[in-house]
Structure 1
Amino acid sequence: MHPEIHLALHHVRAAELHAEAAAHRLASAAAKPGRPLRTRVGWTLVEVGLRLATPRPSPAPSVSS
């Protein structure tokens, strides 16, 4: 293969990759606002689950005088 053809194919492929990366960046930027809410809800569910799974401490025996 001639070097000029190889270089031309490289430029075409690089342009395709740049366009694909730009489209991916736009798609992920649109999806980011929902992520913090999802994360907060997830951690809240973990906290509730841990509170339900952890046994309550038994009351301290009362000391009578």
Structure 2
Amino acid sequence: MHADIHLQLHHLNAAQLHRAAEVLAPAVTPAPLRVQLGWRLVELGLRLATPADRPIAFAA
């Protein structure tokens, strides 16, 4: 198979897969309050357990 045709078929197949994923993918919902509170408590616990002279690195 010619490389250009193969690449075009790949792009068509990828576009079909993206369209199917958009239809089947569940809507993104924010995390429940319970989960957010749980992660805040984990962050607080890590802050309390980390010595004061070490900088805290956490994802924003």
TM-score by length of 1: 0.44
Which of the two has higher C-alpha Rg?
Answer: 1
Could you say which structure has the higher helix fraction?
Answer: 1
* Higher relative contact order structure (alpha carbons within 8 Å, sequence separation ≥ 6): 2
Q: TM-score, normalised by structure 2?
A: 0.47
